[in-house]
Amino acid sequence: MQPTGQPAATAAAGQFCTQCGRPVPSGGMTNQAGSLICQACAMAPAGGVTQYGGFWIRLLARIIDRLIVGAGVMVIGFVQAGRLLFNFGDPWAWFETIAAVAFYGWLLAGAYEIGFVAMQGATPGKRILNLRIVRADGQPLSWGVATGRYFAVHLSALILCIGFLIAVFDDRKRALHDMICGTLVIRT
């Protein structure tokens, strides 16, 4: 026997969103107009359909983010290049400088991506383009998932960037790293 006021579709659906049909863990549903829906559908625009961030808009967001991180890496490069003035005759100084810029640049890029995604749900490039990264159930990413996603992005790039191109053919516009980490990029 179902409670009064609850539609039959909700009771039959169990832990599945009545709008998109995806499985949702317990506690991840929202009651909207008498139907239990997942967080992703609850955040959908007025039309009620979740819009996913496609390949090209995500590429543009990544370019914006790389320009921002690149500016920081340039500052690191200038600071490290100043060391060469004091060690000009040392042949290892050039190697150490290049290695230091690469290492600190990688740390800066990681801190940028992981920090913004974990704390705000999107990097500045994605926020400018009204995109947000969420888990498949619509919940925000934890620090662990954001970190895993950052390293999974490298895997997408490692295989000749095919991991990014998968988003073109997926119905929810997920790249390889999204599939690995169970995330979605949605338009807000």
pLDDT (0 to 100) of residue 45: 54
pLDDT (0 to 100) of residue 48: 61
- Sign (positive or negative) of CA dihedral 33, 39, 40, 46: positive
Q: Kindly list the domain boundaries of the chain, sorted by start residue.
A: 8-42, 55-187
* Strand-pair partners of 131: 187
What's the angle, vertex CA 188, arms to CA 14 and CA 142, rounded to 5? 65
The Cα 155–Cα 146 span in angstroms is: 14
Q: How far is CA 79 from the centre of its chain?
A: 31
**pLDDT string in tens for the chain (188-residue length):** 444 444 444 434 457 777 677 787 777 777 776 777 777 676 665 556 789 999 999 999 999 999 999 999 999 999 888 877 777 777 788 888 899 999 999 999 999 999 999 999 999 999 999 999 999 988 999 999 999 999 999 999 999 999 999 999 999 999 999 999 999 999 99
pLDDT (0 to 100) of residue 96: 87
Q: Give yes or no for a contact between 148 and 98, defined as CB atoms under 8 angstroms apart.
A: no
Of the candidates 53, 14, 18, 52, the residue with the CA atom closest to the CA atom of residue 38: 18
Radius of gyration, CA atoms only, the chain:
22
pLDDT (0 to 100) of residue 42: 67
